[in-house]
Structure 1
Amino acid sequence: MEKSVILVLFLLSLTCPKGLGQENPFLRDFLVRWDQSKAYLLAVAEAMPEENYFQPPYPEGKSFAEQLMHIAVIIDWHAFSKFGGSEAAIRWEDFREQGKNKAQLIHEVAREFDRTKQLIEGFDPDKLDETASYGKFSRTRRQFLLLLADHVTHHRAQLIVYLRLQNIQPPDYINFQ
């Protein structure tokens, strides 16, 4: 009886799909960093008081809220259009900050991190070397993930400057390694 239970469990494990992206060392490592990047960005977003979310630091600058939505829309575009291959246009209108509060903005950013994680977990690693256009450049799907991570880091750093301009101590980066 015990052997038959073990055999059934083994056979079930063969039929249950695993995330393809988790089997690839690059994608596996990227997902670890992606989760840490999300946690750090959300900590930065939580640190800013809501009353400071909508005022740009200088007249032609983006507000804290606009920066968050910019991060979210580019996550969506890089992940699904460029990395995922749908080749869709950037969905600017779906990621506006108007009429949203701090909690809603943070939720939207977190949702894009989570959607992207799911995409990567199910991604076929054999497609990492496929290319897509990016302006006048051609990039591999692997490079699009790296560009995506760089973009988040770039704008998160701007949000940290916004915190500093408000004399707010940002979350310590070392806690998100």
Structure 2
Amino acid sequence: MKRILLLLAILTSSISTSQQSDVKSAFLEKWNNSKEYLIEMAQAMPEDKYDFKPTKRQMSFKTQLIHIEGNMKWLGTTYFNLETVGEPEDLSDLSKEDLIIALQSRFDDIFNAVKAMDSKKFEEVVEFYAGPKSRLQILNLLQDHVTHHRGQLVVYLNMCNIDLPRYSGW
């Protein structure tokens, strides 16, 4: 019995390690967690507070969400669908519900594009406005940008005395 338990422990450890070392799988899992958390934040803020901004120089809650969606569209389509993207769409007239749908759709678009991409392409270097970057670096930029602005939204929700959704980043 002890041998069977030891064998199961070794197999479980090996499977877990191989899953975590696969860049694509690791990103896709984290991307879905990021989507879930951001959407819960967007849902938590009442629509009548979507224009809230802590100071005049900061973006409103809604503008932060629009900015996140636009950046995901630009990086996702330019570097993972091999399309050229023009000017960002004006989403400022969208309702809370429609903006949330747009965000969910953009997260899903990137998820599907990354999932379909051959993992070897993550090593390819692409032209980027800040200099050449690998597609893996662009993946990291995508996630980092969402996290940066989502962190600001945490402050906005707290300033409006709105309970934060439970963190879903694990």
TM interval, short-chain normalised: 0.7 to 0.9
What do you get for the CA RMSD once the two structures are aligned? Answer: 1.8
How far did 1:83 drift? 3.7
Identity of aligned pairs, percent?
34
1:50, 1:159 → 2: CA distance?
Answer: 14
2:72, 2:97 → 1: CA distance?
Answer: 19
**After superposition, where does 1:80-159 map in structure 2 within 5 Å?**
80-86=77-83, 88-89=84-85, 91-92=87-88, 94-97=89-92, 99-159=93-153
1:158, 1:90 → 2: CA distance?
Answer: 27
Structure 2 alignment gaps of length 5 or more: 1-18
Q: Deviations over 1:104-157 (max 9, x none)?
A: 111111110001111011111121111112223111011100110000000101
Tell me which stretches of 4 or more aligned residues in structure 1 moved more than 4 Å: none
Give the match for residue 29 of structure 2: 32
TM-score of the superposed pair, with normalisation by structure 2: 0.82
Does the CA-based 8 Å contact 1:128-1:141 persist in structure 2? yes
How far did 1:56 drift? 2.5
How far did 1:85 drift? 3.3
Aligned residue among 74, 78, 83 for 2:75: 78
How far did 1:84 drift? 3.6
SS in 2 for 1:134: coil
SS in 2 for 1:128: helix
Give the match for residue 45 of structure 1: 42
1:115, 1:140 → 2: CA distance?
Answer: 20
Give the length in aligned residue pairs: 151
Does the CA-based 8 Å contact 2:80-2:117 persist in structure 1? no
Does the CA-based 8 Å contact 2:68-2:145 persist in structure 1? yes
Amino acid at match of 1:161: V
Does the CA-based 8 Å contact 2:91-2:99 persist in structure 1? no
How far did 1:172 drift? 2.3
- Alignment of 1:65 onto 2:62: yes
How far did 1:72 drift? 0.5
Does the CA-based 8 Å contact 1:67-1:155 persist in structure 2? yes
37 and 136 in structure 1: CA distance in 2 versus 1, 3 angstrom threshold: closer
TM-score of the superposed pair, with normalisation by structure 1: 0.79
How far did 1:170 drift? 1.1
